[in-house]
Amino acid sequence: MKYILVLLLAGLTSNAQIQKEQLNLMPWPQGIVLNEGNFALSKTFKVNITGNPNARIFGAATRFLRRLDGRTGMFFEQGFITKLNEYPTAELQINCQKSGKIALYEDESYHLEVKKNQITINATSDLGALHGLETLLQLLQNNGTSFYFPTTQISDFPRFTWRGLMMDAARHFQPVDVVKRNIDGLAAMKMNVFHWHLVDDQGWRIEMKKHPKFIELASDGQYYTQEEIRNIVKYADERGILIVPEIDVPGHGSAILIAYPEIGSKVIILTGGTAEKNIQGTAIATYGIERNAGIFSPTLDPSNPKTYQLLSEIFDEVCPLFPGAYFHIGGDENEGKDWDANPKIQEFKKKNKLNNNHELQTYFTMQLAPMLKKHGKQLMGWEEILTKNLSKEAIIHSWRGANEGVAAGQSLTEAVKGGYKTVLSSGYYIDLMHNVESHYLNDPMPKGVELTAEEKARILGGEAPMWTELASATTIDSRIWPRTAAIAERFWSAQDITDMTSLRRRLETISFRLEELGLTHISNKNVILRNIANNQNIEAINDFSNVCEPLKGYTRNKGGIEYQMYSPLTLFADACTPDAKDALAFDNAVNQYLVNKSPENKAKVALFLNKWIAVNKTLNELSNNAPLIRPVLPLAQKLSEASLQLLLVLDNKPTLKGTDLKNLIEQCNTKDHADVELAVYASFKKLI
Interaction with a second copy in 171-190: which residues (CB under 8 A)? 175-177
The distance of closest approach from Cβ of residue 456 to a second copy in the complex, given in angstroms and rounded to an integer, is: 39
Q: Is the preceding omega at residue 482 within 30 degrees of 0, hence cis?
A: yes
Binding of a second copy at residue 216 (CB under 8 A)? no
Complex with a second copy: residue 72 or 438, whichever CB lies closer? 72
Dihedral angle, C-alpha 404, 408, 412, 415, nearest 10 ° = -50
| 13 SS3 class | coil
**Residue from 568, 584, 647, 656 binding a second copy (CB under 8 A):** 568
Decide: is 499 part of the binding site for a second copy (CB under 8 A): no
Q: Tell which residue, 83, 96, 161, has the closest CA to residue 128.
A: 96
86 in contact with a second copy (CB under 8 A): no
Residue of 122, 182, 618, 645 interacting with a second copy (CB under 8 A): 618
DSSP percent split of the chain into helix, strand, coil, nearest 5: 40, 20, 40
Query: Distance between CA atoms of 396 and 407, rounded to whole angstroms?
Result: 16
Q: How far is the CB of 2 from a second copy (least distance, A)?
A: 5
| DSSP annotation of 520 | -
Applying CB under 8 A, does 485 fall inside the site for a second copy? no
Dist CA 162 CA 444 (whole Å): 11
Instruction: Count residues binding a second copy (CB under 8 A).
Output: 79
CB of 4 to a second copy, least distance (A): 5
HEC readout, 42-65: CCCCCEEEEECCCCHHHHHHHHHH
212 binds a second copy (CB under 8 A): no
Nearer to a second copy by C-beta: 228 or 437?
A: 228
Binding to a second copy by residue 567, rule CB under 8 A?
Answer: yes
Number of H helices, E strands in the chain: 24, 20
530 near a second copy, rule: CB under 8 A: yes
Written as one string, the DSSP assignment of 431-449 is GG---HHHHHT--SS-TT-
Binding residues among 146-165 for a second copy as defined by CB under 8 A: 146-147
One of 151, 334, 623, 645 touching a second copy (CB under 8 A):
623
Window 330-389: residues binding a second copy (CB under 8 A): none
d(CA 675, CA 552): 9
Residues between 650 and 679 with contacts to a second copy, criterion CB under 8 A: none
Whether 611 and 517 have beta carbons less than 8 Å apart is answered as: no
Q: Which stretch binds a second copy (CB under 8 A): 29-37, 269-277, 311-319, 562-570?
A: 562-570
Choices 293-301, 372-380, 564-572, 601-609 (CB under 8 A): range interacting with a second copy: 564-572
Distance CA 492, CA 163 (A): 8
Q: Tell whether residue 614 is a contact of a second copy (CB under 8 A).
A: yes
The SS3 call for residue 633 is: helix
Q: Does 534 bind a second copy (CB under 8 A)?
A: yes
The contacts of residue 431 (CB under 8 Å, 6+ apart) are: 465, 466, 467, 468, 469, 470, 471, 479
90 binds a second copy (CB under 8 A): no
Q: How far is the CB of 55 from a second copy (least distance, A)?
A: 11
Q: Is residue 124 a contact partner of residue 53, using CB atoms and an 8 Å limit? A: no
Residues 6+ apart with CB under 8 A from 537: 622
CB of 557 to a second copy, least distance (A): 10
The 282-321 contact track toward a second copy, x by CB under 8 A, reads ---------x------------------------------
User: In the complex, what is the shortest distance from the CB of residue 49 to a second copy, in angstroms, rounded to a whole number?
Assistant: 17
Is the backbone peptide bond immediately before 27 cis, with ω within 30 degrees of 0?
Answer: yes
Binding residue for a second copy, selected from 44, 309, 555, 625, defined by CB under 8 A? 625
Residue 254 binds to a second copy (criterion: CB under 8 A): no
